[in-house]
Structure 1
Amino acid sequence: MTSAGSSAEGLSGPVDVCIDRPLLSLDRPFTYDLPAELGAGVGSLVQVPFHGRATRGWVLGPTDDLPTRMLAVKKVVSPVRFFDERQLALFRWVGERYVAPLAAVIARAVPPRVASEEVGRDLPDAGATLTGAHDPSAGSVLAGYRGGDRALEALDGGHGAFVARPAPDDEQSLAVDAVAACLAGGRRAIVIVPEAIPVPATASALADAFADRAALFLGGGKRSRYRRWLEIGAGRFDVVIGTRPAVFAPVDNLGLIYLARESHPAHREDRAPYYHGRDVALARSRLEGAACVLASACPSAEASALGLPTISPATRRWPPVEVVRPGPAGRAPRLVKALETTRRGFVFSPLPGYGIAQVCRSCGDPAACASCGGLLRAAAGAVTCVVCAASGRCRSCGGTSFGVRRGGAEDVEAWAGRAAPVPVRRLRDEEPARLPGSDEILVGGADDVRDLGAGGLDLVAILDVDLADRRPGLAARERSLATWMEAIGWARPQGRAIVQASSPGDPIVQALVRGNPDRFHVEETRKRQEAGLPVGAAVFRVTGSAALEAELRAFDPSTLLVSPSEGGTVCLLALDPERVMAFGTRLRELAADGVVDRVEAEPHL
């Protein structure tokens, strides 16, 4: 990116323009004549006539594909060059991999423009390197890891990709160490974290370590995000720490992309172009000759299947984990006894509320919502429907008194509070995630397991492991395992963990005991293969007309599921990644012909 005030070569004559219309049917460049006096170049936001209207678009570069009639670019909308040739290559890769309009990719890669932020800003030229706090000793953590020497060599040279499984108490220091090694080699780094609130401990550790050389690109309002993006593009920072969009940050001389908590679902974009930060990070590192580190206590099946070198502790750095069977009322006697001596602890209870209504006390019928027939849950002293949120009334007689099967965070708070020598508190929905204070035990669920730093807890208890098989979603078990492993990591260095499970030999339970998900991934990969959605396949959900099915079968998908919808067809298919480019080309043609309405890559299943 070239900021206002920076110099860059201008273009003139015929140029390709990406029209700011994120439609697959219009996903091709349009040729316009660019007057030299406008001073526009690659990445310039311009105004052009399009179907009789003034429309914005981005200049992609010169072209020899000349139409019989060529209109002129009307004006330059902004002095900012929003991308350069290197970034454009990445945007095109994303558009091809996820079968998405280039305009949609640019819209996700660049924050919304605030014109007043472009006026009169004194920004340094791109390529300038600032001096800041003294860099941490590069390589001091990685050197103690298996595969660390190879990673340090790659970071120094700026190439190669790795999967890192940091020890729980090294999660932040490993990121700092990798970035320091990159900077020591004279290149810049991007670190991607899945969440912005609360500020992840990894982001805070990097900001503290690199001071004014580091930029936090987390959350914020429209104006502050655009201002920070301009500063990044102008070369003001050597380290950029941000959420998913930071993978596109306009950083020159890039040497490292570090993806923290790689298996976290927030790394996947839920809007077009539906990209995954992992895949884009790997692609950008290849395109720009940088190193890429995918870090997670429990890497995803997709990351594990890549066959990348692994960075892991040279010795066991995992808390002792004891597996116990659930006892009466869902609590094992061993767990209750352990709570009696716990001063700081965390009890993971995935179910909210006090319990589930089982039977109407008025008529004896099974409990069901009178409005929609949904499940009724007791929570905060009231019974409500988990589906429509209506007040709990019996579907048969309208009664409001129910027999409740206890089991939920409120119930856990009650019985754990009776056993523990310190206060036990349940984290409420409105409370930010945090670690327990001194002499405190917290009860929380998946939303409370965040990047909060080293825990140092006496005890971490994982309840209701058996429920993982009942959760919907192709990767539900994997996501549960990743969350549990992050929580158990809080017991380092002196604490322990207790896991309640009816099947101690289940690969998901054994992964918790070993602190290693490899065998679990083997089992999950087999299940995914049997389900027809193998790990590594490109999966798409395509909506269109009745002619869609025949068109998709021509690509010989490993799986094709077809469902009729109102006035059309919805198809779910899994493709060999090698076929995606040809697949995307054909879908763009079909979109122009009205056969394809919508394409969603890697849908949540």
Structure 2
Amino acid sequence: MAEVLIDSIPLKDPKPFTYRIPTALQGRIEVGSAVLVPFGNRKGVGGVVTGLTEEIKTEFEPKDILEVLSEGVLPSLMKPLLEWVAAYYSAPFSGVWLAAVPKGILKKKRKKKNKSNEPLELPPVLTPDQVKVLGQIEKNSKSLFLLHGVTGSGKTEIYLRAIGENLERGKQAIVLVPEIALTPQTVSRFRARFGERIAVLHSGLSGGERAEEWHRLRSGEADIAVGARSAVFAPLERLGLIIVDEEHESSYKQDSAPRYHARTVALKRASLEGATVILGSATPSLESYEAASRGEFALIELPRRINGRPLPPVEVIDMRQELREGNRNMFSRSLKKAVEGILERGEQAILLMNQRGYSRFVLCRACGQAVRCPRCAVSLTLHKGKSEYLICHYCGTRALSPSICPSCRSPKIRHFGVGTQQLEETCQELFPSARIARLDRDTTSRKGSHAQILDGFRDGESDILIGTQMVAKGLDFPRVSLVGVLAADLALNLPDFRAAERTFQLLTQVAGRAGRSEIPGAVIVQTYSPEHFSVQRAKEHDFEGFYHEEAESRRELSYPPFGKLINVVASGTTLESTQEAAESLAASLQRRGVMALGPAPAPLSLLKGRHRFQLLIKTEELESARQVLRESLSEQSSPKNIRFAVDVEPLNLL
């Protein structure tokens, strides 16, 4: 018998179906085989075998598999990895398979890719620091490396050289980047060195494009996979190297089931297949840096920028003082003067505002109520287009901006908080001669728009680039001499134990966009919390100092990396039944000796019309806690409207 996941038609609830393997196909079918099966009233649809079982009696007569279409979609040696992911993250195997394999891969016809005749780029001369790091990788007995290099120190060249040596040994490589948006820039850099040996895998591609790249890797036509999170499952049989660039980025963690972390999966895959892993970052995660301090990873460092360029000086502006001195503008006097200066000199600036939209919320000053989403426990964000409208950034609900309060009918409606749209509008007022571009989810929703905006900025078509955290990620513009951060403490106000770490990382990374060429750079950070240690350490470019201070508080509270977390969210259509289900699960865990914080209403207590209660398990023994949780969940007899979502090692508790 075979468990077959239907691939070529969309199903509301994807799950494996049981089929019989006929005598004629015995021995030809294995896990990963692409097969043709009858389904409903269809005579033949494509599917992938996800499991083999002994013949068992069922309530119905299983149908026969009709035909074997191709060799395994995934190399057979990857089956243990997928099984491990399913077990580790408490996810169904079929869900892991769907995350690993491009949707609709069986019904896409292969097209022969035209080979490029572009000459390959010659590698540059290495700096002494780069020579030292490559020597450490080559000679070290460890196969796991944490590359800690300041912004602009040449980490990408280390990746390129390591891949080149890997290819010379007949091996293949995976390069993970944290954002889909980064991929075109990364691909162009890698393709210049390795040509058509590169294949790209990320969800921003069409189904046909992704299936084509997948087949190129599976057939051996390409041997370097570059992509975002899911590229960790690239179908390579001779894997020798996995690179995780900007390894600290939270986008490596999938926020829907299966909730895997690509960095963790990369480490496990390398262990199973005997590959080397290089984790790279200017601001390593506490988890990775702590592992390096314990000797689990070899720590290799690039402490200086290329050509001895200095890291830019950072000026921290106390916006409380600006307000006391009568400045109510979102620009401090220092930042306004600095922008005027770069415009006069014909240079460029990047301005970071990590909140898209026009205003963060709309509030009635009579009754104090914010206009909230009817389906989620959050305020709606004001956006401006042809008209003013409110949008929920969680479920997409839209409404026209009201002229009177929906709660008390008062006309005293005001907009509060600032987003990228309002920042753009203010820049147009303050700097009327400036050419301004904006980079956020609203301006990059169309395919290719992200690359178009960045290419235009690189080519000098705009003077100021405004954006959310997207502008902090790995961008290299030689004419950028100023970076301004408005509302640097937005993340500090979130109920999240990682808030300080995320703030430090964001400030350090965006500061690294300035002064990357001959033009000296400067950074101005505006904040209402200038004394916070994450802001001060970022000002000093002091990762070590930040790490030790943050690690001390994490250790006291047994938060990662000094403890493990499992977050369980119960959701349902009624408040009472959801709370009862969460309390029942908590009681079951307690009977088995596992203590959980809660249950309590989740920070987002209502999401897409569903009430949510949260339990947080803190443990030093992840495997035993996971096993107890599985047992407790299996004994729950909750109403059909109740769902439990399990997030092992969550990055976000919101």
Q: TM-score range by the shorter chain?
A: 0.7 to 0.9
What secondary structure sits across from 1:427 in the alignment?
strand
Where does residue 575 of structure 2 map in the other structure?
none
Identity of aligned residues (%): 25
Residue 100 of structure 1: how far off its partner (Å): 1.1
Where does residue 423 of structure 1 map in the other structure?
434
Residue 598 of structure 1: how far off its partner (Å): 3.3
- Between 562-571 and 252-261, the greater mean CA deviation after superposition: 562-571
Matches within 5 A, 1:241-256: 241-256=226-241
Could you give the per-residue CA deviations for residues 550-583 of structure 1, whole angstroms, max 9, x where no partner exists?
Answer: 3323564464322589999955233546442673
Matched, 1:202 2:239: no
Where does residue 215 of structure 2 map in the other structure?
230
- Between 36-45 and 96-105, the greater mean CA deviation after superposition: 36-45
Where does residue 79 of structure 2 map in the other structure?
88
Could you give the per-residue CA deviations for residues 360-399 of structure 1, whole angstroms, max 9, x where no partner exists?
Answer: 7xx9665754997957858569765566644233327645
Q: TM-score, normalised by structure 1?
A: 0.79
What secondary structure sits across from 1:491 in the alignment?
coil
CA contact (8 A) 1:255 1:290 kept: yes
Where does residue 482 of structure 1 map in the other structure?
505
Where does residue 100 of structure 1 map in the other structure?
91
CA contact (8 A) 1:147 1:309 kept: no
Q: In structure 2, do the counterparts of structure 1 residues 376 and 287 end up closer, same or farther at CA, with 3 Å as the change threshold? A: closer
Matched, 1:111 2:102: yes
Matches within 5 A, 1:308-323: 308-315=297-304, 318-323=311-316
Q: In structure 2, do the counterparts of structure 1 residues 540 and 555 end up closer, same or farther at CA, with 3 Å as the change threshold? A: farther
Q: In structure 2, do the counterparts of structure 1 residues 585 and 284 end up closer, same or farther at CA, with 3 Å as the change threshold? A: farther
CA distance in 1, matches of 2:623, 2:56: 29
Residue 152 of structure 1: how far off its partner (Å): 3.5
Matched, 1:534 2:560: yes
CA distance in 2, matches of 1:243, 1:60: 27
Residue 134 of structure 1: how far off its partner (Å): 5.7
Matches within 5 A, 1:31-42: 35=23, 37-38=25-26, 39-42=28-31
Q: In structure 2, do the counterparts of structure 1 residues 171 and 100 end up closer, same or farther at CA, with 3 Å as the change threshold? A: same
What secondary structure sits across from 1:483 in the alignment?
helix
Unaligned 5+ segments in structure 2 are 8-13, 393-397, 445-449, 571-580
Could you give the per-residue CA deviations for residues 386-431 of structure 1, whole angstroms, max 9, x where no partner exists?
Answer: 6664423332764556566685545544665566595052517325
Kindly tell me the number of residue pairs found equivalent between the two proteins: 576
Matched, 1:601 2:647: yes
CA distance in 2, matches of 1:80, 1:131: 31
Residue 353 of structure 1: how far off its partner (Å): 5.7
Where does residue 225 of structure 2 map in the other structure?
240
Could you give the per-residue CA deviations for residues 457-491 of structure 1, whole angstroms, max 9, x where no partner exists?
Answer: 11111121233322354434433433333321111
Matched, 1:287 2:300: no
Matched, 1:331 2:331: yes
Amino acid at match of 1:245: S
Where does residue 144 of structure 1 map in the other structure?
130
Residue 226 of structure 1: how far off its partner (Å): 1.6
Where does residue 32 of structure 2 map in the other structure?
43
CA distance in 1, matches of 2:547, 2:258: 28
Could you give the per-residue CA deviations for residues 489-523 of structure 1, whole angstroms, max 9, x where no partner exists?
Answer: 11133212111234444221133223343433444
Q: TM-score, normalised by structure 2?
A: 0.73
Amino acid at match of 1:514: E
- Between 303-312 and 142-151, the greater mean CA deviation after superposition: 142-151
Where does residue 551 of structure 1 map in the other structure?
588
Matches within 5 A, 1:403-442: 407-409=418-420, 412-413=423-424, 416=427, 423=434, 425=436, 427=438, 429-430=442-443, 432=450, 433-434=453-454, 435=457, 438=460, 440-442=463-465
1:498 to 520, 524, 527: 524
Could you give the per-residue CA deviations for residues 34-73 of structure 1, whole angstroms, max 9, x where no partner exists?
Answer: 63645223422457899xx999662656x8x786899896
Unaligned 5+ segments in structure 1 are 1-14, 124-129
CA contact (8 A) 1:146 1:313 kept: no
CA distance in 2, matches of 1:421, 1:370: 35
Computed over aligned residues only, the root mean square deviation of the Cα atoms, in angstroms, reads: 4.6
Matches within 5 A, 1:276-425: 276-307=261-292, 308-315=297-304, 318-326=311-319, 327=322, 328-329=327-328, 330-342=330-342, 343-352=347-356, 368-369=370-371, 385=390, 389-395=399-405, 398=409, 400=411, 407-409=418-420, 412-413=423-424, 416=427, 423=434, 425=436
- Between 206-215 and 583-592, the greater mean CA deviation after superposition: 583-592
Matches within 5 A, 1:122-161: 137=123, 140=126, 143-144=129-130, 147-153=133-139, 159-161=143-145
Amino acid at match of 2:515: R
Residue 349 of structure 1: how far off its partner (Å): 2.4
What secondary structure sits across from 1:600 in the alignment?
strand
Where does residue 485 of structure 2 map in the other structure?
462
Residue 279 of structure 1: how far off its partner (Å): 0.6
